[in-house]
Chains A and B, each alone.
Chain A
Amino acid sequence: SQKIEQNSEALNIQEGKTATLTCNYTNYSPAYLQWYRQDPGRGPVFLLLIRENEKEKRKERLKVTFDTTLKQSLFHITASQPADSATYLCALETYGQNFVFGPGTRLSVLP
């Protein structure tokens, strides 16, 4: 069956460290993979998109990698800050135009 998993429900890291979040999927062939941030009581907000033929994308302190052989994406936040504390969601978009989300990882950056 089709499944999207994100490494852990919650991740705690110290301010200034790099946070690494994992997104694994099975039985999908995504054309695109996106990462979103969601704060309590609000809708998800887009962060980064990576295409199936791209290995890595960067935006300021954010970096996404995409390995279609491993069926995995890694999302990195460098020099993390308490303001980065939120839930991070990965989302797959397939050629069938299905747009599905993973369960999310709740990140807490401790001062």
Chain B
Amino acid sequence: EAGVAQSPRYKIIEKRQSVAFWCNPISGHATLYWYQQILGQGPKLLIQFQNNGVVDDSQLPKDRFSAERLKGVDSTLKIQPAKLEDSAVYLCASSLGMGGEAFFGQGTRLTVV
């Protein structure tokens, strides 16, 4: 079974530039999550999708971050414009639904300089 795929693996951008991350979840998984993990901290939930609808985006900085899940499968997370404090690992995860284990991708390490 293929795991959660994320790209790119690493990205370095200057502040005020824009960046996009892509995630392909495990086939059949209805729930998709994007997390931000700053070094030394636990993952912070940015947005959660159930199929292509948003379940929770309460911690997504909507003035600069946006996310979509096309046809309930792949998802993209965009930051525009980036700030220095956005430097973190962005993790995508998917699960069958409530009570199911979450499978994580390897993450995208973003450095904003």
Residues on A close to B: CB < 8 A? 4, 6, 31-32, 34, 36, 41-46, 49, 51, 89, 91, 93, 96-104
A42 to B99, CA, bound (A): 23
Residue on A with the closest CB to B43?
A101
Which secondary structure dominates chain B's binding surface? strand
Question: A43-B104, A44-B43, A89-B43 given as contacts; is B56 within 8 A of A98 (CB)?
Answer: yes
CB distance from A21 to the nearest CB of B (A): 13
Residues on the A chain within 8 Å of B105, using CB: 43
Residues on B close to A: CB < 8 A? 4, 31, 33, 35, 41-45, 48, 50, 55-56, 91, 93, 98-99, 101-107
Q: Is the CB–CB distance between A43 and B45 below 8 Å?
A: no
Q: Is the CB–CB distance between A97 and B41 below 8 Å?
A: no
| 17 A–B pairs (Cβ distance < 8 Å), ordered by A | A32-B98, A32-B99, A42-B107, A43-B104, A43-B105, A43-B106, A44-B43, A89-B42, A93-B98, A97-B48, A97-B98, A99-B48, A101-B43, A101-B45, A102-B42, A103-B42, A104-B41
Question: A98-B56, A99-B102 given as contacts; is B42 within 8 A of A43 (CB)?
Answer: no
Query: Which 8 A/B pairs are nearest by Cβ-Cβ distance?
Result: A43-B104, A46-B101, A101-B42, A103-B42, A101-B43, A104-B42, A97-B55, A44-B104
